[in-house]
Amino acid sequence: MDKNIIGFVYTGRGLCVTACSMIGGIMKAIKIGTRVEIYNDAVITYNELPARAYIVRFAKMTGFYLDEYPNIQVKEDKIYGEHMKKVHKVLHAFEKFDRNLGVILSGNKGIGKSMFTRLLSEMAVKTGIPIIVADQYIPGIASYIESIDQNVMVLFDEFDKTFGDVKPAEGEVDPQAALLGLFDGVSQGKKLFVITCNDIRKLNDFFINRPGRFHYHFRFDYPSAEEIRTYLHDKLEAVHHNEIEPIIAFSRKVDLNYDCLRAIAFEINSGEAFSDAVGDLNIINLSQEQYNLTIYFNNGTPMHIHNRNIDFFENQEIRVCFSEDNYNEILTVGFWIADSEYDIKNNCSVIAGKKLRITYDEDYDENEVRRVKKLVVDRLEIQKVREKNLHYAV
C-alpha cells in the first residue's frame, strides 16, 4: 500500500505543498538550499499558500509544516450580536494597515469568541487571505511563521493556556516573550494576528495597552436579557415561547452563555419544562455572586451596600445591614430571594417593601433611630456586579 505524506516545504522562493506516494509515478526533484528531495508526480507547488485554513505541526525529523485545517466553518444560520460588524472592521483595518495588525479576543468560555474567529476566518479566506492556526507552543514557531512571506491571518486559540501556561525549560525564553519579535516584525507579508483568551491576566504585560502591537481588544460578555429573548424567540418552537421570560429571569441569577441557551432550547423543544430541564443540564451554581443592594424609602432616600455575596438559590432568610454613612449600620433588612421579581428594564431583582423584615439598631443614637423609623420602605433592589469594563466610556 502506498504511504501518503502531506506537508508544506519552504523553498526560499515560495511554499510547496507535497502530497506524494513513496512508490510509483514520475520522479520529481525539489532542491531546498543544498538539500535535494525526491518526490513523485503527485507534488504540487505554489508560489503562495492557497487561501484556506492550515494548522502548524512539527515533526522531529523534518521540522515545521502545515496541515490543512477544516474546522473554521460557520454552521449557525443566524449570527447574534455585533460579530459581523466587528469582523468587517478588522478586515477593513488590515487592508488599510501597512504593517501587522493584532487583535485580542477575551472573555469567559462559550460567549462568542470561537464564533467570532470562525466568522473572521471564513471572511478572510473569501478575500484571499490564508489562515494559520497555532494551537501549541513549539520552540522556533515564531521564526517559522515569520518565514511565510505573504499576507496571512495567524490565529492563536486559547493563548492563555497554549502559551501562557507553558513553563520554559532552563535557558529557554518565555513562550510569550519569544513571540514579541514576531508581532512587531516587518517581514515581506504583513500578518493579521488574532489571540483568543479566557483569562487576560495570563497575557504578557507587553500585550495589553499596546495598540501598536495589538490594535484591537474585543471583550465578550454574557448575552443581555434582550439578546437572550431574541435568541430564544428564534430557537424555541412558538408553543414554548411562554418559557422565555422565566429563562431570562434565571439568567440574571446564573450567567448563561450561548452553549447553555442552546441546550435549554433543545430540552424545551423536546417537551421538557424549563424548571425541570435546568435541574438535569450541566448548568450548576458553583459559587456565590456579588451584588449591589439598594433600599429605597417612600421619600426617595436610598441606602446602599456594595459587593455583597449572595446565593440566589438560598432557601432561607438573608439579612443585610445598611447605613447612611457607610459606617453606622442603623437598620437591618431581612428578605427571601423567592420574593424577588426581575425588573428587565432596570436589570435588577426587586422585592417589595411589604415583604421585607426591617429591624433597627436600638443602641444607636436615639434621635437618628427615631428619624429612620419614620421612613417607609418602598422596595429593595438587587443588581449583580458585572465584570469591570476594561475600556473607556467616551
pLDDT at 78: 83
Residue 17 has pLDDT above 70, yes or no: no
Residue 6 pLDDT grade (very low, low, confident, very high; cuts 50, 70, 90): very low
- Cα R_g (the chain), whole angstroms: 29
Strand partners, 108: none
- Supply 235's cell numbers: 430557537
Residue 351 has pLDDT above 70, yes or no: yes
Residue 150 or residue 173, greater confidence: 150
Residue 260 or residue 186, greater confidence: 260
The pLDDT tens digits for 128-140 are 999 999 999 888 8
Q: Which residue has the cell 436589570?
A: 347
- Distance of alpha carbon 17 from alpha carbon 25, whole angstroms: 17
The pLDDT tens digits for 114-130 are 899 999 999 999 999 99
The pLDDT tens digits for 50-98 are 999 999 999 888 889 999 998 788 877 788 878 899 999 999 999 999 8
Residue 393 or residue 166, greater confidence: 166
Residue 345 pLDDT grade (very low, low, confident, very high; cuts 50, 70, 90): confident
Residue 326 or residue 354, greater confidence: 354
Tell me the range of 69-73, 111-115, 266-270 where mean pLDDT is highest. Answer: 266-270
Residue 4 has pLDDT above 60, yes or no: no
Residue 41 has pLDDT above 50, yes or no: yes
Residue 363 or residue 156, greater confidence: 156
Segment 16-44 shows an average pLDDT of 65
Do the beta carbons of residue 356 and residue 377 sit within 8 Å? yes
pLDDT at 286: 53
Residue 241 has pLDDT above 70, yes or no: yes
pLDDT at 2: 40
Residue 275 pLDDT grade (very low, low, confident, very high; cuts 50, 70, 90): confident
Residue 288 pLDDT grade (very low, low, confident, very high; cuts 50, 70, 90): low
Residue 107 has pLDDT above 90, yes or no: no
Residue 191 has pLDDT above 90, yes or no: yes
pLDDT at 186: 63
- Supply 203's cell numbers: 497575557
- Supply 265's cell numbers: 432550547
Residue 231 pLDDT grade (very low, low, confident, very high; cuts 50, 70, 90): very high
pLDDT at 391: 52
- Supply 190's cell numbers: 504583513
- Among 230-244, 326-340, 346-360, which is the least confidently predicted range? 326-340
pLDDT at 180: 85
Of the candidates 180, 181, 186, which has an alpha carbon nearest to the alpha carbon of residue 99? 186
The domain spans of the chain are 1-47, 83-219, 225-280, 289-384
Residue 163 has pLDDT above 90, yes or no: no
Do the beta carbons of residue 342 and residue 247 sit within 8 Å? no
pLDDT at 254: 81
Residue 101 or residue 48, greater confidence: 101
User: How is domain 83-219 classified at the CATH fold level?
Assistant: Rossmann fold (3.40.50)
- Supply 154's cell numbers: 495567524
Residue 327 has pLDDT above 90, yes or no: no
pLDDT at 352: 94
Do the beta carbons of residue 45 and residue 59 sit within 8 Å? no
Average pLDDT, the chain: 83
Q: Which residue has the cell 456579588?
A: 290
- Supply 325's cell numbers: 454613612
Segment 199-216 shows an average pLDDT of 86
List Cβ neighbours of 307 (8 Å cut-off, separation of 6 or more).
Answer: 290, 291, 292, 385
List Cβ neighbours of 32 (8 Å cut-off, separation of 6 or more).
Answer: 9, 10, 11, 12
Residue 56 or residue 30, greater confidence: 56
Segment 237-264 shows an average pLDDT of 90
